[in-house]
């Protein structure tokens, strides 16, 4: 008896899904490894740094440290270099004038990039691993071997330079980003942050929006041409867009979908958009499974799926509620995208742009003319640069309006709702809730159960946010080591840092965002050297206390406190601090002198735990074991077996209390 067609289709679909999962998941979720001849293979545990000489080609123009907007005199920069086998990242103490595809010979010290000490922090190792790079080279000497031509990179530079000259650096870079995406344009950190907080980051990303605008103008203009000619022109536009924006996952997804839709349109067939999206995404992942880990690719696919599945039904529902037709159309698209991408935003960033929907509603009248106009300016910059004097000012004014809109929304209270990054299991449950509510046709009883599931997710995540916890994050070793101790009590938090530099402040900010902390009650900086970023610390904490001229920030009898979070000094001649967290008490001893100060003080109180910011000598270890202070945390590699209640962070890692 023949199998019914419905069951045959289901069986074939399940078989295809199994084949895709077997190909994609192991490669995407496994741990990537460097090739056999990669320079990182030369490094051994006994020799973490190695002097080498390498030859290769630059994969891009150098990127300045800090703000990517401009490299000042003496400012360092980094750039990836392609080698005969593998890649390495070059770090220049002073940024030279180099360009993409130039061949260099470099000498310097090769090392492994430092991994992130905590999952909520961004580390060089993780950043470079996503680019297929496993090593860093601090350049001491370099020699230019060949200036290989890079016409596409030169085109990008010429376009950005022409727009900057006519519209100014900030507005010119924004116009360039609307053409080729922010990944290929040096937008400042402040501008990127404002667009992210306002929920307008998609406007700066090279994706399907720019292509839809381009093809939406091209197809009506070429309606009377031969089909082959229309296909050629459409394919040329898509290819030029990919060349200018670069082969990023989201760009390739948009380009392949646009190409498939264009072919189907010319063949007189109407393709199913959702099936087309799934087919293109699956094909891309079959070729490059690693793209499944790319956040931009994930957001692009999910947001596009939201528009195809939920935007139309949501618009109809709003019309039924007597919303004006134009408003229902305008609000359904950003609302559907925001709902569908909510689990991914929480998983990767821990924040939700609270005003994303109204911000997109206000930005919509600006984005289409700006995008189309910026692309027109790009063409003029290539063929008739002198004409920019007349055509650029109106678009520069529109770009200024978009910038001010993003900044205005970003300054609103709770513009970024910091909910913290939930556990992956809770994100999966939240995804089921979104699917039950956002996909049309789901039975009402499943939607009611989704409400119960959402309440469970909120309760479990809230319990984590309101719990008591001490978190130690250690990075580096020796004189370069840095420690952050973060105390949490019922949604409040306080911070103790052994370093007062800007890097430590930025790490503290990342931790606060990932943990759902809106700000620290207070911050205690134990660094004897004055901070080079006092404004950064003041933005993070309501009260910042730091030492001056090498003296401790706290003296005996003084304390720094907020409800159930208190720090007080133990002695005049050390940086030893007692930290009270709810009903728990910890001793923070950053150096040997602090340990001696506690030992000589003869305090009868037994702490719940002790943190040591150094490797204790054998005599000090024995005294600590005799004193039995409860839990003992060590920063760094202990170098030997630890007693039962002792724990070490490792060279770069973290510890946290239950």
Mean per-residue pLDDT for 500-512?
92
CA distance 525 to 337: 42
Question: Which has the closest alpha carbon to 348: 306, 300, 430, 293?
Answer: 293
Mean per-residue pLDDT for 338-358?
92
Question: pLDDT by residue (tens digit) across 586-633?
Answer: 999 999 999 988 888 766 578 889 999 998 888 988 888 888 888 999
Using the structure block, give the residue that is written with the tokens 């150098």: 62
Would the CA dihedral through 371, 374, 376, 379 be positive or negative?
A: negative
Using the structure block, give the residue that is written with the tokens 């009611």: 448
Q: What angle do CA 34, 39, 41 make, to 5 degrees?
A: 65
Would the CA dihedral through 324, 329, 333, 334 be positive or negative?
A: negative
Q: Tell me the three state secondary structure of residue 486.
A: strand
Question: Which has the closest alpha carbon to 418: 334, 520, 486, 339?
Answer: 520
DSSP 643: P
The whole-number pLDDT of residue 147 equals 93
Of the listed ranges 90-99, 295-304, 437-446, 549-558, the least confidently predicted one is: 549-558
Question: pLDDT by residue (tens digit) across 225-237?
Answer: 777 888 888 888 8
Question: pLDDT by residue (tens digit) across 312-336?
Answer: 899 999 999 888 888 888 898 899 9
* Tokens encoding 591: 């150096």
* Tokens encoding 345: 């935003």
Mean pLDDT in the chain? Answer: 85
Of the listed ranges 2-6, 63-67, 436-440, the least confidently predicted one is: 2-6
Give how far Cα 574 sits from Cα of 232, 588, 591, Å: 75, 11, 8
Query: Given pLDDT bands bounded at 50, 70 and 90, which one contains residue 69?
Result: very low
Domains (range + CATH), the chain: 43-149 (2.40.50.140), 154-418 (no CATH), 424-465 (no CATH), 469-656 (3.60.15.10)
CA distance 259 to 251: 12
Query: Given pLDDT bands bounded at 50, 70 and 90, which one contains residue 84?
Result: very high
* Tokens encoding 593: 């002198």
């Amino acid at each position: 008896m023949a199998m019914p067609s419905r069951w045959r289709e289901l069986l074939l679909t399940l078989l295809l899904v199994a084949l895709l999962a077997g190909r994609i998941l192991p490669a995407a979720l496994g741990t990537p490894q460097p090739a056999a001849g990669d320079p990182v293979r030369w490094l051994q545990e006994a020799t973490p740094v190695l002097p080498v000489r390498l030859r290769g080609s630059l994969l891009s123009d150098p990127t300045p440290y800090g703000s990517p907007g401009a490299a000042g005199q003496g400012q360092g920069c980094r750039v990836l270099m392609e080698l005969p086998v593998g890649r390495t990242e070059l770090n220049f103490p002073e940024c030279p004038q180099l360009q993409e595809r130039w061949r260099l010979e470099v000498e310097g010290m090769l090392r492994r990039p430092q991994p992130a000490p905590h999952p909520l922090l961004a580390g060089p190792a993780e950043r470079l691993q996503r680019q297929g790079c496993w090593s860093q080279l601090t350049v001491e000497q370099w020699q230019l071997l060949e200036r290989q031509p890079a016409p596409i990179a030169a085109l990008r530079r010429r376009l950005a330079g022409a727009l900057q000259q006519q519209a100014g650096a900030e507005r010119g870079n924004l116009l360039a980003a609307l053409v080729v995406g922010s990944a290929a344009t040096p937008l400042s950190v402040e501008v990127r942050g404002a667009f992210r907080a306002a929920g307008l980051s998609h406007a700066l990303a090279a994706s399907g929006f720019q292509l839809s605008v381009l093809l939406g103008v091209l197809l009506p203009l070429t309606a009377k041409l031969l089909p082959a000619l229309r296909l050629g022109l459409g394919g040329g536009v898509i290819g030029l867009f990919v060349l200018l924006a670069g082969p990023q996952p989201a760009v390739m997804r948009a380009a392949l979908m646009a190409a498939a839709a264009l072919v189907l349109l010319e063949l007189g067939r109407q393709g199913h958009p959702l099936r087309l999206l799934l087919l293109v995404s699956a094909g891309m992942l079959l070729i490059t499974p690693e793209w499944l880990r790319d956040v931009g690719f994930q957001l692009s696919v999910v947001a596009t799926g939201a528009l195809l599945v939920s935007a139309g039904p949501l618009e109809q529902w709003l019309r039924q509620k007597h919303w004006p037709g134009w408003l229902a159309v305008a609000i359904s698209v950003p609302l559907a995208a925001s709902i569908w991408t909510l689990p991914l935003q929480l998983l990767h960033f821990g924040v939700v742009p609270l005003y994303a929907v109204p911000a997109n509603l206000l930005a919509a009248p600006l984005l289409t003319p700006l995008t189309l106009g910026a692309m027109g300016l790009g063409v003029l910059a290539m063929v008739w640069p002198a004409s920019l004097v007349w055509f650029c000012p109106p678009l520069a004014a529109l770009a200024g309006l978009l910038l001010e809109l993003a900044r205005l929304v970003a300054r609103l209270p709770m513009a970024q709702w910091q909910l913290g990054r939930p556990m992956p299991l809770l994100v999966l449950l939240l995804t089921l809730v979104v699917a039950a509510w956002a996909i049309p046709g789901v039975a009402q009883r499943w939607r009611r159960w989704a409400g119960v599931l959402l309440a469970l997710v909120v309760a479990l995540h809230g319990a984590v946010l309101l719990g008591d916890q001490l978190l130690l994050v250690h990075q580096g070793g020796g004189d370069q080591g840095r420690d952050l101790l973060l105390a949490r009590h019922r949604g409040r938090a306080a911070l103790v840092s052994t370093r007062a530099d800007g890097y430590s402040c930025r790490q503290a900010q990342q931790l606060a965002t990932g943990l759902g902390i809106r700000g620290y009650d207070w911050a205690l900086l134990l660094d004897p050297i004055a901070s080079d970023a006092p404004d950064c610390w003041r933005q993070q904490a309501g009260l910042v206390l730091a030492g001056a001229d090498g003296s401790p920030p706290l003296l005996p009898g003084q304390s720094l406190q907020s409800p159930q979070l208190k720090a007080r000094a133990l002695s005049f001649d050390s940086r030893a601090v007692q930290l009270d967290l709810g009903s728990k008490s910890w001793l923070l001893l950053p150096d040997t002198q602090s340990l001696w100060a506690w030992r000589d003080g003869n305090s009868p109180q037994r702490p719940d735990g002790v943190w040591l910011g150094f490797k204790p000598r054998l005599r000090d270890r024995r005294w600590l074991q005799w004193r039995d202070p409860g839990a003992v945390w060590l920063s760094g590699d202990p170098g030997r077996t630890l007693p039962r209640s002792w724990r070490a962070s490792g060279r770069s890692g973290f510890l946290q209390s239950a």
